[in-house]
Amino acid sequence: MSGPAAMMIALAWTSSVQAQQPCEPRPVPQARIEAGAPLPSLAPMPRDARSASIDHATRRLTFATACSGADLVRFYRVTMNHLQWHEPSGMQERRSEIRMEFQRGRQAIQIAIRPEPAGSQVIVEQADGVVAPDAAQSAAVAVAPTPPPAPQEQANGLTAKAVNGLVIPQPSRGEGQGSGLATYVTARVPATTADIAAFYRRELIGRGWKEEPGATLTETHGRIRFTTSDGPGLLTLEHSRATGLTDIRLRVVRERLARDNAMMIVPGRAVVLFGNETDRPAAFEIAGRTIQVRPGIVPGLGAPETHRPPSLELAPGPHRLTLRRPGQPAVEIFVVLDEDSPWGVIAKRDGLEALPAY
């Protein structure tokens, strides 16, 4: 599987058996970074996280770690920025805790770090909804679909270059493309999110695409959904104030192919596909259900009906997922699912992997 997705909070790993520094997250596969695709939105826990629990009603994740408060501040600033969340204001340090907040579009994550003699207690909470107008300058505001501008309103001199059946604004750097269950292009452009959004609204609506309600656009982030004749379209923008460059990813799901392979997104629902790359049966437990998967079943294109992975539709949001295999310790992760891509959850010889389908 290839391509990115996911808009909600987190994958958080609690069962690493490798010898790693405790204040490191599980590494993101290098191939996904080299492909130039934005990474899934994650709020990871450190390697040594323990006593993790999740409250679905309040969207709260709590855990303990041996990491110090200063180490955790650095940890979250590096990992959350890498995973396309931004910190609208600095941390707030009080007598008994350190508080941090990260935003992406209409989503917000609040992290409370409570230092203790042997490490720290951490509380991660998610909140969503439109940010109030008097919030920080970078706060997200819902943006209504707009008609294409008149020719004289070209988006700040950006011109269009056809790539992979889609379009990339020029000038650009580091262009990329790919196809599978979705067709996508990526690029890095020296322009603001507002200018790039205006460019794409002009170009895509001119091609017959229809913008869906609920777009978000800030100085540093953008997320706009479209309806196309081929399938759902999604434009994501991530701007760096330091470099003045904006990372672009434009994706169109190949709806017929995704449906033929039972890997289509379902509006309002999160879809999970279960695979097993090992030579032993695997049992996945999630949302009160147990999914049995025999060896050799892996989500992917072109699998015959007899080898299609079992799937499950769940409510979007955080879920505890446990993998059990004969003769091996259970592996547990917390995964927060959304509607932007099905997720493939795969039992592997060395643990458990969760990746978006596109």
In order of their start, the domains of the chain are: 1-131 (3.30.310), 141-253 (3.30.160), 265-358 (2.60.40)
Given a cut of 80, whether residue 225 has pLDDT beyond it is: yes
Measured distance CA(22)–CA(18) in Å, rounded: 11
Q: Which of 59-73, 113-127, 298-312 has the lowest mean pLDDT?
A: 298-312
CA 271 to chain centre: 14
Measured distance CA(144)–CA(149) in Å, rounded: 14
Given a cut of 60, whether residue 207 has pLDDT beyond it is: yes
Rounded to an integer, the average pLDDT of 54-81 is 78
Rounded to an integer, the average pLDDT of 195-205 is 94
Given a cut of 90, whether residue 282 has pLDDT beyond it is: yes
Given a cut of 70, whether residue 307 has pLDDT beyond it is: yes
Q: What is the pLDDT of residue 193?
A: 94
Characterise 306 by phi-psi region: left (phi > 0), alpha (psi -120 to 50), beta (else): alpha
User: Residue 9: which pLDDT band, with cuts at 50, 70 and 90?
Assistant: very low
Q: What is the pLDDT of residue 80?
A: 75
DSSP string, 151-193: GGG-STT-EEEEETTEEEEES-EEEEEEESSEEEEEEEESS-H
Which comes out higher in pLDDT, residue 97 or 280? 280
CA angle 23–24–25, rounded 5-degree value = 125
Token pair for residue 58? Answer: 């309040």
Which comes out higher in pLDDT, residue 151 or 245? 245
Any idea of the CA torsion for 54, 71, 47, 357, to the nearest 10 degrees? 70
Residue 19 to residues 11, 16, 24: CA-CA distances in angstroms? 20, 8, 11
Given a cut of 70, whether residue 286 has pLDDT beyond it is: yes
% residues pLDDT > 90 (the chain): 25
Given a cut of 50, whether residue 7 has pLDDT beyond it is: no
| Among candidate residues 265, 336, 338, 352, the one with its CA nearest the CA of residue 56 | 336
Q: What is the pLDDT of residue 197?
A: 95
Beta strands in 117-269 (DSSP E): 119-128, 141-143, 159-163, 166-170, 173-179, 182-189, 210-211, 215-217, 221-227, 232-239, 246-253
- Contact (CB, 8 A) for 251 and 238: no
CB atoms within 10 A of CB 325: 17
Model pTM above 0.75: no
- Contact (CB, 8 A) for 252 and 182: yes
Given a cut of 90, whether residue 250 has pLDDT beyond it is: yes
CA 114 to chain centre: 27
- Contact (CB, 8 A) for 26 and 82: no
Q: Which of 69-83, 106-120, 163-177, 244-258 has the lowest mean pLDDT?
A: 69-83
Which comes out higher in pLDDT, residue 75 or 275? 275
User: Residue 276: which pLDDT band, with cuts at 50, 70 and 90?
Assistant: very high
pLDDT tens sequence across 122-153:
888 876 532 322 222 222 333 334 444 443 34
pLDDT tens sequence across 20-49:
345 655 333 322 222 222 223 346 778 777
Rounded to an integer, the average pLDDT of 64-84 is 78
Measured distance CA(310)–CA(269) in Å, rounded: 16
Given a cut of 60, whether residue 120 has pLDDT beyond it is: yes
- Contact (CB, 8 A) for 316 and 340: no
Mean pLDDT of the chain: 74
Cα torsion angle, 280, 285, 286, 290, sign? positive
- Contact (CB, 8 A) for 147 and 205: yes
Which comes out higher in pLDDT, residue 128 or 214? 214
